[in-house]
Amino acid sequence: MDSSANILNWFEISVSDIARAKKFYETIFSIAMEEQEMMGMKMAFFPFEMNGKLSGGLVQSDMHKPSIDGVKIYFNGNPDLDVALSKVEAAGGKVTMPKGKISDDIGYMAFFIDTEGNAVALHSNA
């Protein structure tokens, strides 16, 4: 593997209801997500630029099952994760760990459950 390449290149959040999940993430992050159907899967993509940065999407299919114990994804909440976290419950999710300081060097984190039952995290420097 090229040592300069990202170790991760894609993520998928399993969902039961693509429309509900898309609305949730568009609301808390103030973004627009494009939907597409591919290989029998309904997908909604997080915004990205073709510059090698990591991106991913929401996926609804027979093989994608939401789980609170699945992979933990830390979304970029900069400049302050409180902005997105403050929208979670109004959008239908649940904050499970409020903003907490990791360290001066690393910043802050928080956890929430999305509308599909997935445990997700936010990270920010402030």
Supply the CATH number for residue 34's domain.
Answer: 3.10.180.10
> CB under 8 Å to 113, separation ≥6 — which residues?
68, 93, 94, 96, 119, 120
The reply to whether 60 falls in a domain is yes
- Confidence check: pLDDT of 88 > 90: yes
Average pLDDT of 79-94?
97
- Confidence check: pLDDT of 9 > 90: no
For 58, the domain range is: 11-124
Number of domains in the chain: 1
* Per-residue confidence (pLDDT) for residue 21, from 0 to 100: 97
Q: Which residue type sits at 81? A: L
- Confidence check: pLDDT of 34 > 90: yes
Q: What is the pTM of this model?
A: 0.85
Token pair for residue 96?
């499970």
Supply the mean pLDDT for the chain: 90
Average pLDDT of 28-37?
97
The reply to whether 31 falls in a domain is yes
Measured between its terminal Cα atoms, the distance across the chain in Å is 34
The reply to whether 4 falls in a domain is no
- Confidence check: pLDDT of 4 > 90: no
